[in-house]
Amino acid sequence: MIKCIVLTHGDLGFALLNTTEKIIGPLEGIKVISNELTSLKDLITNLDSIVKNWEESEILIMVDFCGGSCWHAARVIKRSMSNIALLSGVNLPMMLSFVNKRESYKLPDLAYYLKECSLKGTEVIAGEEKQE
């Protein structure tokens, strides 16, 4: 079973996990880290300690957005580790699909699959709808 770290600004990661558990039920093997009031070096250290504990597992690190300190820390940790994949833009469709597919997929396939789920989970409704 693939493990997961949700790495975000502020409370976003905690709220995402909390909401996912409300929909699906209690979950294991998912950790949340926030960059709130943390230096980049400490963020990397925090991430590293979780990854070391899970070195036997495949780990997906889901980050809120590409380009911030969270993404930076994740890139540093991933650098030489083949059991880790990174995915940015974490959202609820991704979280739900992760839980559903974490046992049937391997990395990095799961990461690509979740990216697709995120795109498919985004709809635009605009203009006038046809009246019956």
Contact residues for other proteins, defined by CB under 8 A: 9, 35, 37-42, 65, 67-69, 71-72, 75-76, 79
> Which of 50/76 has CB closer to other proteins?
76
How far apart (Å, rounded) are the C-alpha atoms in residues 94 and 115?
A: 7
CB of 82 to other proteins, least distance (A): 17
CB of 48 to other proteins, least distance (A): 16
List % helix, strand, coil for the chain (3-state, nearest 5): 45, 15, 40
CB of 67 to other proteins, least distance (A): 4
> Which of 4/44 has CB closer to other proteins?
44
> What contacts 29, CB < 8 A, 6 or more positions away?
1, 2, 3, 4, 57, 102
